[in-house]
Amino acid sequence: MKEYDVVIVGGGINGCGLLRDLALNGVKTLLVDKGDFSSQTSQGSSKMLHGGIRYLETFDFGLVQEALEEKNLWLKLTPHLCFEREFYLPLYRYSKYAPWMLQAGLFLYDFLSHFQNRPHAMLDAEETMRTLPSIDPKGLKGAGKYFDGIVDDAKLSLECLYDALLEPQVDALSYHEVISTTKTSEGYNVTIQDRTKTKLETVKAKYIVFTTGPFSDKLLPSLGIPWTPQLMPSKGIHLWLKEGSISVKGSVVLTTKDNRVVFVIPQRGAILVGTTETEVDQEIFDIKASQKEIDYLLLVLQQYFPNSNLNIDSIISTFAGVRPLAREEGSQHSLGKVSRHHKIYRPTSHSYVMIGGKYTTFRKMTQELAREIVPRLGLRYKPNLTLNPLRQHSIMPTFGKQPKLTLDMVKNIIATEKVTTFDDLVMRRLSLLEHPSTIKDVMGIPADQIKALFQNL
Ligand X SMILES: Cc1cc2nc3c(=O)[nH]c(=O)nc-3n(C[C@H](O)[C@H](O)[C@H](O)COP(=O)(O)OP(=O)(O)OC[C@H]3O[C@@H](n4cnc5c(N)ncnc54)[C@H](O)[C@@H]3O)c2cc1C
Residue of 187, 357, 367, 419 interacting with ligand X (CB under 6 A):
357
Cβ density class 124-136: b for 16+ within 10 Å, e for less: ebeebbebbebbe
Residue of 164, 213, 232, 366 interacting with ligand X (CB under 6 A):
213
Amino acid at 318: T
CA dihedral over 324, 325, 329, 332, signed as positive or negative: negative
Residue of 18, 22, 48, 301 interacting with ligand X (CB under 6 A):
48
Site size with ligand X, rule: CB under 6 A: 39
Stretch of 27-35, 163-171, 288-296, 387-395 lying at the interface with ligand X (CB under 6 A): 27-35
Alpha carbon 121 to its chain's center: 28
Stretch of 35-43, 88-96, 158-166, 448-456 lying at the interface with ligand X (CB under 6 A): 35-43
Residue of 6, 7, 14, 28 interacting with ligand X (CB under 6 A):
14
Check binding of 236 to ligand X (CB under 6 A): yes
Taking the C-alpha atoms of residue 426 and residue 450, their distance in angstroms, rounded to an integer, is 10
3-state helix, strand, coil in the chain (%, to 5): 35, 30, 40
Alpha carbon 2 to its chain's center: 31
Stretch of 39-47, 84-92, 295-303, 438-446 lying at the interface with ligand X (CB under 6 A): 39-47
Q: CB atoms < 10 A from the CB of 382, how many?
A: 13
**281 vs 313 by CB, closer to ligand X:** 281
Q: Considering only CA atoms, which of 132, 55, 126, 129 is closest in space to residue 87? A: 132
Check binding of 266 to ligand X (CB under 6 A): no
Check binding of 46 to ligand X (CB under 6 A): yes
Stretch of 43-51, 119-127, 293-301, 401-409 lying at the interface with ligand X (CB under 6 A): 43-51
**123 vs 238 by CB, closer to ligand X:** 238
3-state secondary structure of 353: strand
CB of 277 to ligand X, least distance (A): 8
Q: Considering only CA atoms, which of 194, 188, 159, 157 is closest in space to residue 173? A: 194
**128 vs 339 by CB, closer to ligand X:** 339
Burial status of residue 282 (CB atoms within 10 A of its CB: 0-12, 13-18, 19 or more): exposed
Taking the C-alpha atoms of residue 324 and residue 231, their distance in angstroms, rounded to an integer, is 6
CB of 80 to ligand X, least distance (A): 19
Half-sphere exposure in the Cβ direction for 219 (13 Å, CA)? 22
Stretch of 30-38, 75-83, 385-393, 417-425 lying at the interface with ligand X (CB under 6 A): 30-38
Taking the C-alpha atoms of residue 276 and residue 53, their distance in angstroms, rounded to an integer, is 17
Question: 142-181 mask for ligand X (x: CB under 6 A)?
Answer: -----------------------------------xx---
Question: 359-388 mask for ligand X (x: CB under 6 A)?
Answer: xx----------------------------
CB of 365 to ligand X, least distance (A): 9
Check binding of 12 to ligand X (CB under 6 A): yes
Query: Does the N-terminal peptide bond of residue 275 adopt cis geometry, omega within 30 degrees of 0?
Result: yes
Residue of 6, 15, 287, 369 interacting with ligand X (CB under 6 A):
15
Check binding of 42 to ligand X (CB under 6 A): yes
Cβ contacts of residue 318 below 8 Å, gap of 6+? 237, 238, 239, 240, 288, 289, 294
Check binding of 211 to ligand X (CB under 6 A): yes
**42 vs 134 by CB, closer to ligand X:** 42
CA dihedral over 415, 172, 154, 401, signed as positive or negative: negative
Check binding of 212 to ligand X (CB under 6 A): yes
Residue of 275, 314, 318, 339 interacting with ligand X (CB under 6 A):
275
Check binding of 51 to ligand X (CB under 6 A): no
**Residue 45 near residue 360, CB atoms below 8 Å:** no
The Cα angle at residue 325 between residues 324 and 330, in degrees rounded to 5: 145
Stretch of 117-125, 248-256, 351-359, 372-380 lying at the interface with ligand X (CB under 6 A): 351-359
List interacting residues with ligand X (CB under 6 A). 9-15, 32-35, 39-42, 44-48, 50, 177-178, 211-215, 219, 236, 275, 321-324, 357-360
